[in-house]
């Protein structure tokens, strides 16, 4: 069967500043944490060892062109642009981002720019990070500076990438700095992130810039083990906590009432100001980026909660390992292609069918060198992964879902948070020693698909 996509469908990939650029003047929480606990990073490889986009941006954009990208998302590093988060703008950073944006546009690759991709400037973390409302204001200033500097040539802005991840990693599950385990503080961080998002949207609207503004959320459809009411309730609460805590404010302009009631009953609500509600209502977006990697399967808890243990989302559900599920064993994530369709249908039916696109989807695989044939990684598994997901996405579009594009994670194999270079995601293989880039089979497949705006599959 031929899967053809609508005209002007966005074909591309995503990356982020910290994971690709390399050396920078302003310190982030990642540099700080790595300097103190390198053992927390795979093979002791830290955020300085990247794919050196700062040096190779021009030839890398040539490679994007070779992959027939018509769009590409990366982020601006707040710490590079404003090293202390709040003070002077670094002119070298302005030059760098201007060159990248101009070159992308010149090559016919539309730049999609994220303002915050997990990379808090250390100076901002030192005053409390997202727990401090002053950081919300500093972020809003940073966003406005970016709109002023680049808003004439960047027409697709994203306030945050996966804002729930720093909440989970930094304040619940101990995989980002500052390694706090405290739900109320996590809720405050999440809430202030929504306020920061809304302030950036407000500034964007006030400036009457030419483009559109949105956010990128990692949506994990919550599937109950069964239709037993206890399992269904467990899945509903997981959905409230992990999806709707951001999805509802940015699309509906308010939090789900049952999420607020639940947190209130456990005394976990963050401190709110009366004017916050108006601000959140103004944070509604033009475009939603959906990152989809894995579903969330849950069941009701089998055991009682330990009342001495810290309050956690898992007080309301257990995770459920569905027999027969397909796994990506390297990352430990389930691969469930229909999830992409379920997300789009949920957006269509419950959120007014917003303009959206798949902003990340991908498969990290360890030790890909074993698949080298004639000097090239033959990653057939990645081609299957993409085409299966695209088939479900295509079904969603044919049923009226407003999905405008598909971006893969990622372009060139890049540094990944605590996993460093353990799992490779790229269309292009990176030799860490030489920095040599070699297009994988999946890169060729994607280039052909983007060129034809379609692909064939049985
Ligand atoms: C997304 C992030 O969560 O998934 C990326 O936006 C990240 O920054 C990607 O690299 C893959 O996840 P990981 O943890 O395997 O790198």
Q: How confident is the model at residue 215, as a pLDDT?
A: 99
Element (DSSP H or E) covering residue 421: none
Report the nearest atom of ligand 1 relative to the CA of 118.
8
Report the nearest atom of ligand 1 relative to the CA of 362.
11
CA distance 94 to 141: 15
Report the nearest atom of ligand 1 relative to the CA of 364.
15
Whether omega for the bond prior to residue 186 falls within 30 degrees of 0, making it cis, is no
Q: pLDDT tens track of the chain, all 458 residues?
A: 999 999 999 999 999 999 999 988 899 999 999 999 999 999 999 999 999 999 999 999 999 999 999 999 999 999 999 999 999 999 999 999 999 999 999 999 999 999 999 999 999 999 999 999 999 999 999 999 999 999 999 999 999 999 999 999 999 999 999 999 999 999 999 999 999 999 999 999 999 999 999 999 999 999 999 999 999 999 999 999 999 999 999 999 999 999 999 999 999 999 999 999 999 999 999 999 999 999 999 999 999 999 999 999 999 999 999 999 999 999 999 999 999 999 999 999 999 999 999 999 999 999 999 999 999 999 999 999 999 999 999 999 999 999 999 999 999 999 999 999 999 999 999 999 999 999 999 999 999 999 999 999 98
According to DSSP, the β-strands at 327-328 and 333-334 are antiparallel
Task: Extract the tokens encoding 424.
Answer: 């490779």
- Three-state SS for 404? strand
- Three-state SS for 74? strand
What are the b/e assignments for 178-208, b being 16+ CB within 10 Å? beeeebbbbbbbbbbbbbbbbbbbbbbeeee
Ligand 1 pocket test target in 246, 416, 418 with most atoms within 8 Å of CB: 416
CA distance 419 to 43: 8
Q: Give the active site residue among 162, 168, 337, 368.
A: 162
Q: How confident is the model at residue 23, as a pLDDT?
A: 82
CA distance 67 to 100: 17
Active site residue 126: no
Q: How confident is the model at residue 250, as a pLDDT?
A: 99
CA distance 5 to 449: 10
Q: Give the active site residue among 168, 334, 337, 360.
A: 360
How many C-beta atoms lie closer than 10 Å to residue 160's C-beta?
27
Q: How confident is the model at residue 299, as a pLDDT?
A: 98
Taking alpha carbons only, the member of 292, 426, 359, 290 closest to residue 71 is 359
In the chain, the number of structural domains is 1
Q: Which residues pair with 298 in a beta bridge?
A: 224, 319
Give distance in angstroms: CA of 161 to centre of ligand 1.
10
Report the nearest atom of ligand 1 relative to the CA of 409.
9
Minimal-distance CA residue to ligand 1 atom 16? 416
Helix axes 245-252, 183-207, angle to 10 degrees: 20
- Residue 311 Cα distances to 171, 237, 255, 292, 307, angstroms: 12, 14, 21, 27, 8
Task: Extract the tokens encoding 244.
Answer: 């709707």
Report the nearest atom of ligand 1 relative to the CA of 162.
6
Q: Which residues line ligand 1 (CB under 6 A)?
A: 16, 19, 161-162, 165, 218, 291, 331, 360, 364, 409, 416-417, 419, 423
Torsion of CA 283, 287, 292, 296, to 10 degrees: 40
The CATH number of the domain holding residue 133 is: 3.20.20.80
Minimal-distance CA residue to ligand 1 atom 12? 416
Cβ contact 359:291 at 8 Å: yes
270: containing domain: 2-456
Q: How confident is the model at residue 387, as a pLDDT?
A: 98
CA distance 104 to 113: 12
Active site residue 131: no
Element (DSSP H or E) covering residue 189: helix 183-207
Residue 445 makes CB contacts below 8 A (sequence gap 6+) with 383, 386, 455
Give distance in angstroms: CA of 405 to centre of ligand 1.
19
Q: What is the DSSP string of 210-254?
A: SSEEEEEEE---EEESSSSHHHHHHHHHHHIIIIIHHHHHHHHSS
Give distance in angstroms: CA of 385 to centre of ligand 1.
16
CA distance 115 to 203: 13
Taking alpha carbons only, the member of 212, 209, 196, 207 closest to residue 160 is 196
Give distance in angstroms: CA of 130 to centre of ligand 1.
21
Minimal-distance CA residue to ligand 1 atom 9? 409
Give distance in angstroms: CA of 416 to centre of ligand 1.
6
Element (DSSP H or E) covering residue 267: none
Taking alpha carbons only, the member of 359, 412, 405, 361 closest to residue 385 is 361
Ligand 1 pocket test target in 75, 168, 360 with most atoms within 8 Å of CB: 360
CA distance 204 to 421: 36
Q: How confident is the model at residue 140, as a pLDDT?
A: 98
Give distance in angstroms: CA of 273 to centre of ligand 1.
33
How many C-beta atoms lie closer than 10 Å to residue 81's C-beta?
27
CA distance 279 to 255: 12
CA distance 13 to 11: 7
């Amino acid at each position: 069967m031929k899967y053809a996509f609508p005209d002007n469908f966005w074909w591309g990939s995503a990356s982020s500043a910290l994971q690709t650029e390399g050396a920078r003047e302003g310190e982030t929480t990642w540099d700080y944490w790595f300097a103190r606990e390198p053992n927390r990073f795979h093979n002791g490889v830290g955020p300085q060892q990247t794919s050196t986009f700062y040096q190779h941006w021009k030839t890398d954009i040539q490679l994007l062109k070779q992959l027939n990208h018509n769009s590409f998302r990366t982020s601006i590093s707040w710490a590079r642009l404003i090293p202390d988060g709040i003070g002077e703008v670094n002119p070298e950073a302005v030059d760098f981002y201007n060159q990248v944006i101009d070159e992308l546009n010149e090559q016919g690759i539309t730049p999609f720019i994220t303002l915050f991709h997990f990379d808090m400037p250390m100076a901002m973390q030192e005053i409390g990070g997202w727990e401090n409302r002053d950081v919300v204001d500093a972020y809003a200033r940073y966003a406005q500076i970016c709109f002023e500097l680049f808003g004439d040539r960047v027409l697709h802005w994203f306030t945050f990438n996966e804002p729930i991840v720093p909440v989970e990693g930094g304040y619940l599950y101990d995989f980002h700095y500052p390694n706090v385990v405290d739900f109320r503080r996590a809720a405050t961080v999440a809430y202030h992130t929504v306020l920061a998002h809304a302030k950036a949207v407000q500034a964007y609207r006030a400036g009457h810039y030419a483009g559109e503004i949105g956010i990128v959320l990692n949506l994990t459809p919550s599937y109950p083990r069964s239709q037993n009411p206890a399992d269904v309730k467990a899945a509903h609460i997981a959905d409230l906590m992990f999806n709707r805590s951001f999805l509802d404010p940015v699309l509906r302009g308010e939090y789900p009432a049952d999420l607020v009631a639940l947190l209130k009953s456990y005394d976990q609500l963050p401190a709110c100001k009366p004017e916050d509600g108006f601000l959140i209502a103004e944070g509604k977006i033009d475009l939603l980026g959906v990152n989809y990697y894995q579903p969330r399967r849950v069941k009701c808890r089998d055991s009682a909660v330990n009342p001495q243990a810290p309050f956690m989302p898992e007080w309301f559900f257990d995770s459920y390992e569905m027999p027969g599920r397909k796994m990506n064993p390297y990352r430990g994530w389930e691969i469930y292609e229909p999830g992409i369709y379920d997300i789009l249908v949920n957006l269509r039916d419950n959120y007014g069918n917003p303009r959206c696109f798949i902003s990340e989807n991908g498969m990290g695989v360890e030790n890909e060198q074993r698949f080298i044939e004639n000097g090239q990684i033959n990653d057939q598994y990645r081609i299957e992964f993409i085409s299966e997901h695209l088939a479900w996405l295509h079904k969603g579009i044919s049923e009226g879902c407003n999905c405008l594009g598909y971006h893969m994670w990622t372009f060139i194999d890049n540094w990944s948070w605590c996993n460093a270079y353990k799992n490779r995601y790229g269309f292009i293989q990176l030799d860490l020693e030489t920095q040599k880039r070699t297009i994988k089979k999946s890169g060729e497949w994607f280039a052909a698909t983007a060129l034809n705006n379609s692909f064939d599959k049985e």
